[in-house]
Homo-oligomer: A and B are copies of this chain.
Amino acid sequence: MSLEMLGYLGGFLVTISLAPQVIKSYKTKSTKDISIVYTIILLIGLGLWVMYAILNGIIPLSIFASIEFLFTLSLLILKMIYK
């Protein structure tokens, strides 16, 4: 595997990692063990990364960070609905 592939595969896994968490929270309608501080800090950090990537024209990071931002936003919304 090339070094570049290693970076992309890592980025892909990190990006999709929150999907099973969002699905679980949606199905169980229970989010009390999830830290709202975690979701808020992550959301702000990813938002800054999306801006950074877009302003620098770094396409892969723009895509990865945007998808992860949307998963995090979904989790935060679920956290606020199912307290």
Residues on A lying within 8 angstroms of B by beta carbon are 3, 6-7, 9-21, 23-25, 28, 30-35, 37-38, 41-42, 44-49, 51-52, 55-56
Contact = CB atoms under 8 A, between A and B. Distances in A.
Contacts of A21: 34-35, 37-38
Assembly stoichiometry (copies): 2
Contacts of A51: 6, 10
A59 to B, nearest CB: 15
A11 B41 CA distance: 11
Contacts of A32: 30, 33
Contacts of A49: 7, 10-11, 14
20 contacts: A3-B52, A6-B48, A6-B51, A7-B48, A7-B49, A7-B56, A10-B47, A13-B44, A14-B49, A15-B45, A17-B42, A18-B38, A20-B37, A20-B38, A21-B35, A23-B35, A24-B33, A24-B37, A30-B33, A33-B34
